[in-house]
Structure 1
């Protein structure tokens, strides 16, 4: 495997020959031949996963951690049509990249080679529902950390299919637990902060334009605690020219960070309480994702009655790889 300092040329995509099945429907011979170089030794219990959007920074980070954790990363990835029909290298390993066209055909063959496949999806919000529909149609268990999309439709699609899935817009289990503290407080001490005012700030990288589910959940708990506040009142910061000025983020993490700051003030401002989450970089999400894969594999292997999970379930079980 290549080192983290792999050269730019190592990741330069190569166009496949025109008779390759990634470009035409003539034959899957080359594709099958390629997969033949990556046999899975099922005797050691290795779990095969496919990381979609492998060319993105999150995809690359997940692949690295997954391999380090003993998972078998299938050298195929679904990406945008623009990147389809090319071979990309991720840490020195070649990956066939396939766009939306004909991806069902490739998924069906992958499942014949790797029947215990689990898909990891960190793509784009516009692809959430179509991707979930594909996985559910073919009965593929999946872990989805992609945010956005129609979340109600997503939940219904999974529920109707009875496919095993772990879906969580927040893959950092520590952040999930931290917000969970608010849930416990709201349940045990409703209206505790009645009369208090709230200032909420959320800063995310520019690619995540929508207010996060983390923020929406936090606000719902503050409401139960007696604080009148709605989502539209959140100060949403997405300006990459402004974010470096926020010392807690810094220039190095403008492209991947998550800041949630909630400041409660009593009438007269004689008392203040602050709740804050600040995440810089991808490592905490990557760790959570890999842990989620092991968790879901256990549920699939044990034929658990429950089919749909989130990071709360991972926390409750206390399973750590």
Structure 2
């Protein structure tokens, strides 16, 4: 079970599949966040441009040791860009990344969560500013990721016990874990 946003994802998936190694590989192990992302992807597919003319603003806060832009934020932004038809927004340039303790606390992070947190706020605002939608998810600590990792390990143990399927698939993601249910 591997939860990471770094490295060459396609190569990792390819090498793992070629080795016929059973694995769950996902950029985010928190089932609730993965479910939210999947729902947003579905909305974007069903209702592209529903927020056309709206501007997108994103602020995310993580512990100061996290250097890169959140993979979760990038994925959510992709869906929101489709909903808003806003191709000008770029994840790396336009997402406000908070990494200092002071900035994080001003964003609502409690002092005891400064070494492990993920606070994200996504805002869609109408062109005239009269309508605003916000989507927010705040994680303090790492428990939700640990719980998802345990569920992924249970899922994977079942898959190993079942053995290779007709399609020979051995590599899964957290959507597969969610679709299995009962976790």
TM-score using structure 1 length? 0.53
* 1:290 and 2:150 correspond: yes
Please state whether the residue corresponding to 1:268 is helix, strand or coil.
Answer: coil
**C-alpha RMSD of matched pairs (Å):** 1.3
| Alignment partners' CA distance in 1, 2:147 and 2:76 | 23
* 1:160 and 2:21 correspond: no
Shift of 1:152: 2.4
| Alignment partners' CA distance in 1, 2:103 and 2:41 | 32
| Alignment partners' CA distance in 2, 1:197 and 1:170 | 26
| Alignment partners' CA distance in 1, 2:38 and 2:26 | 14
Match of 2:86 in 1: 227
Match of 1:260 in 2: 120
State the aligned residue count: 177
Match of 1:35 in 2: none
Please state whether the residue corresponding to 1:241 is helix, strand or coil.
Answer: helix
1:316–1:194 distance in 2 versus 1, CA, 3 Å = same
| Alignment partners' CA distance in 1, 2:127 and 2:102 | 35
Deviations 1:127-181 (A, max 9, x none): xxxxxxxxxxxxxxxx012331222221221122121110112110001111222
Match of 1:29 in 2: none
Spell out the pairing of 1:48-127 with structure 2 (5 A cutoff). none
| Alignment partners' CA distance in 2, 1:150 and 1:157 | 11
Match of 1:202 in 2: 60
Please point out which of 135, 139, 162 is paired with 1:302.
162
Please state whether the residue corresponding to 2:101 is helix, strand or coil.
Answer: coil
Shift of 1:241: 3.1
* 1:272 and 2:135 correspond: no
Please state whether the residue corresponding to 2:24 is helix, strand or coil.
Answer: strand
* 1:237 and 2:102 correspond: no
Contact 1:193/1:227 (8 A) holds in 2: no
Please point out which of 48, 73, 79 is paired with 1:215.
73
Larger radius of gyration: 1
* 1:318 and 2:181 correspond: yes
Which 5+ residue runs of structure 2 have no aligned equivalent? none
| Alignment partners' CA distance in 2, 1:180 and 1:269 | 28
Which 5+ residue runs of structure 1 have no aligned equivalent? 1-142
